[in-house]
Amino acid sequence: MRFDTKIAVLLREDLEPWQRLNVTAFLVSGLGTAAPEVIGESYEDADGVGYLPMFRQPVLVFEGTKETLTAAHARVLSRALPRAVFTSDLFATGNDRDNRAAVRAVRTGELDLVGIALYGPRNAVDKVLKGARMHP
């Protein structure tokens, strides 16, 4: 099935494997709150045990250089697409309050981005991700 929209995560290529997983999990957690249409129906197994709903479409993960992330960030802002950011400062914090304070302390153009997540029309997301490559 081909979707008209795309959910994507762009990670900085120099992250450690554990950081890639952590950043991806944190980033995608915000998309469902900003764009509830990305969430599907609840799951249930054959015994009637219920499970939480998940995204209704695949999440595509990309990687790129620091410069690629900076350019993608500028493009996602100019298109006003739903987005989440993860900065290098967040690796040193241990809770949501401190995470928000760490992002708030840095001007937009000076954020040390290690990941962004975004959602929107397929062609707009593709333009934001220009220069990125699929994560191996």
User: Which has the closest alpha carbon to 75: 123, 134, 14?
Assistant: 123
Instruction: Give tens-digit pLDDT for 79-117.
Output: 999 999 999 999 999 899 999 999 999 999 999 999 999
Residue 10: strand pairing partners: 62, 116
Please report the DSSP string for 36-87 in residue order: GGGB-PPEE-TT--EE---BSSPEEEEEE-HHHHHHHHHHHHHTT--EEEEE
pLDDT of 34 strictly over 90: no
Question: What confidence tier does 8 reach under pLDDT thresholds 50, 70, 90?
Answer: very high
- Which letter does DSSP use for residue 106 in this model? S
Rounded (10°) CA dihedral 13, 66, 120, 28:
50
- Per-residue tokens: 129: 């991700």
User: Which has the closest alpha carbon to 76: 20, 11, 129, 133?
Assistant: 129
pLDDT of residue 59: 95
pLDDT of 10 strictly over 80: yes
- C-alpha distances in angstroms, 5 versus 21, 56, 126? 23, 11, 10
Residue with tokens 């410069």: 67
